[in-house]
Every structure is written in structure tokens, then in C-alpha cells.
Amino acid sequence: MPAALWAGRLSYPIYALHLPVVVQHFGRFNHWHGLHLLLAMIIAMFVAVIVALGALKLYDEPIQKRLSTYKKTAKMYQF
């Protein structure tokens, strides 16, 4: 699958979940400065992408599949 397609699919989960992950991460390390702070930000964003990927695979895709099946079934019984 092309990288642009993956980035598009991950964009909303990253948008929705990056703030809670970053806030949780920086709540513990808010006294860091310089290189330590940069490293902490990189780790926080990496964790946010991993959490977003998990949310996409375990939550978003199954619900989209179920809703698309429901929509097709509802269309069949439409009068």
C-alpha cells in the first residue's frame, strides 16, 4: 500500500489521539530542556503514531466495515 494512502488513513486517528498522548507524556517530563526535551517530543510523537495505528486497526476499520455492511443491507430492504 502506498505511503500516501497510509498517511491519509492515519491522519484522523493521529489528529484525535496525539494531544492526549503528548499531554500525558509531557506531564511527566515538563521540567526537561534542550536535547532531552527534543528526545521526549520525538518519543511522544512516535507513541502517538503507534496508538493511532492501533486505534485504526482495532476500532476504526472494524466499525467502518460493519457500518458499510449495514448500509448495503438497509439499501436492499428499501421500498
- Report the 10 Å Cβ neighbour count for 15: 11
User: In the chain, how many domains are there?
Assistant: 1
pTM above 0.75, yes or no: no
Does the residue 4 lie in any domain? no
Residues 65 and 43 sit within 8 Å (Cβ to Cβ): no
Instruction: Give the model's pLDDT for residue 55.
Output: 92
Does the residue 6 lie in any domain? no
Does the residue 22 lie in any domain? yes
Q: Which amino acid is located at 21 in the chain?
A: V
Does the residue 33 lie in any domain? yes
Does the residue 29 lie in any domain? yes
| 46-66 confidence digits (pLDDT tens) | 988 899 999 999 998 899 888
How far apart CA 66 and CA 69 sit, in angstroms, is 5
For residue 57, what are the domain limits?
Answer: 12-74
Average pLDDT over residues 40-44: 84
Whether the predicted pLDDT of 3 surpasses 80: yes
Higher pLDDT residue, 28 or 18? Answer: 18
- In sequence order, which residues have a C-beta less than 8 Å from that of residue 45 and are 6 or more positions away? 18, 22
Instruction: Give the model's pLDDT for residue 58.
Output: 93
Of 49, 42, 46, residue with least CA distance to 17: 49
Whether the predicted pLDDT of 75 surpasses 80: no
